[in-house]
Structure 1
């Protein structure tokens, strides 16, 4: 949500766009760190109760973003948002995996990933226009949504604590591969979300409205492609789906980095949105089925590596982009190329 309005946040808090872009890292580091254990803890505490409490704390963190007087306070509030949100997505992935028959799991997880993509599409459509008035307004919308969800929280498959789920079950090769693929996927994808916005403003002179619309192509493309991606996962399996999505991710990153026009940049962003939705679906399927005795723990572990990659992305790619321009942006394609090598070398053996 912050990426389309980094310049407005920087101006509003008397700081720089580079520090404002650090809000992505400030969010993702505690988000990723807590996800190492959040799923396992939630299985012990009870999924429904954990979900409700985390949503209410997220509302408080959003309010802190709105009221932040300095960049330091704003980054701390973003860290609080990341910490509270670490206890939501893994529980939903675990619940879906428990509820859906195995032969339709790919389609169900693709729908979930597609709706995540829709959230990403809606986010810049909220933050971009909000920034044209006052960037602080952008944080009111997610606070209201979280409050509604806390009151009308989704039904989880297990509302009561389940005792002590097996931590040892998380030590398996499928989950390790899912973690590596998650890390590399978001290392490239978040690099795109930050650098494409910087490129849109610096090279093409787009304002916050236009930057928000451009960023929305990522989520819209992922949402539209989700049903097909789910069917392909069920038909082809995670390995071949992962290979295809990483090829598309690399191509989209290169197009976004080197394309000569705004339209071509948008095509690259859309291609990456499709690839990330497919990879999310693949990784969630492999992770959640790798440890049936601790599904939320497995899902949260894979997701933590996803967002560690996202947290590292601005720190790695922004300096490269500043130093080498378009070729620094194009270097983001190295992440999916490494993922392809892993998929070729490591077979996937999904559990029950």
Structure 2
């Protein structure tokens, strides 16, 4: 990867890490802040709701303000929010700090995708976005590997790592504003069927994927008696599988296009959820988590490609809107599925498996939306008219 672009790919690490870092240590956070695990699990929603809400506008605003300056200040604000998590005296303060983390990170991730789409030739875009999705998967993998063992000592230590990554990125933000017309970025460019498809797939993907990350950790303790370090290693299967599969998934997207890739990845996601729900051993639970991680990486690549090619005059705006829907789904997941888990236990994950089937149907129903759009289509998506 070229020297000027490596921070763009590394930046993909931060969002997934910060969004799920609390899940392997919800019990320890609850004890440390004198609360309950169910209440501490709200830290996922506290991060994702402002993250998603602000991304409806953050990309377009950053196109107008300047991508590089916006990202640099947002990264520094993220460091401050992480420090507030460390110093939180009770759950209320902690959740407020998580809100601040999500709000600041809303002005980073979509800008990275937009910059990559500007710098990479269209015939290599699938591989580039696959690499970015791989770094996102690395963040997903590192989150439990760092926060799980950290929780065995002191859960507050887990917030030092993302703060350090943000500081390094703030010092190395490359030139991201070279595309002419940045000041003319408009909201109207975002009203297109290709972006609408990306938003729908993105929402449903995280509605099910985040349910897996939360419920599998709860099941690992309740059904198999795993401690925080073991739960962290188990949850890491999600990110490790995505990281290993990312290069292949990026190339597949270039060859077969987003329709075929989207349907296949949703079917894999469904299979992984069912295995995680019904598996009778830790090994089967881990395999299910790995399948979900692989599928989510493929769907991230597909969604980012659809969004980034849907509005070339406002790439950051398009990618931020698609990511907003992704994290709206993630924010709702604990609210929807944790009560179901409390009622029925592990089989709740089997109910979640319906969601990717709905998403696969959406992709098939919208089959023509991507190929009819006048913006350059991805290879395998059909020629533009």
Q: Give me the TM-score of the superposition, normalised by structure 2.
A: 0.90
Q: Please, which of 251, 254, 262 is the counterpart of residue 234 of structure 1? A: 254
Q: Please, which of 113, 127, 131 is the counterpart of residue 111 of structure 1? A: 131
Secondary structure of the residue aligned to 1:290 is coil
Q: Does 1:10 align with 2:30?
A: yes
Q: Please, which of 70, 74, 82 is the counterpart of residue 102 of structure 2? A: 82
Unaligned 5+ segments in structure 2 are 1-20, 377-385
Cα 1:207/1:301, change in 2 over 3 Å: same
Q: In structure 2, what is the Cα distance between the partners aligned to 1:146 and 1:300?
A: 19
Q: Does 1:316 align with 2:348?
A: no
**Cα drift, residue 160 of structure 1:** 9.2
Correspondence 1:108-257 to 2 at 5 A: 108-158=128-178, 162-257=182-277
**Cα drift, residue 159 of structure 1:** 8.4
**Cα drift, residue 161 of structure 1:** 8.4
Partner of 1:27: 47
**Cα drift, residue 79 of structure 1:** 0.5
Secondary structure of the residue aligned to 1:155 is coil
Partner of 1:278: 298
**Cα drift, residue 62 of structure 1:** 0.1
Unaligned 5+ segments in structure 1 are none
Q: In structure 2, what is the Cα distance between the partners aligned to 1:326 and 1:18?
A: 16
**Cα drift, residue 271 of structure 1:** 0.3
Cα 1:161/1:133, change in 2 over 3 Å: farther
**Cα drift, residue 326 of structure 1:** 2.3
Q: Is the 8 A contact 1:10 1:16 kept in 2?
A: yes
Partner of 1:304: 324
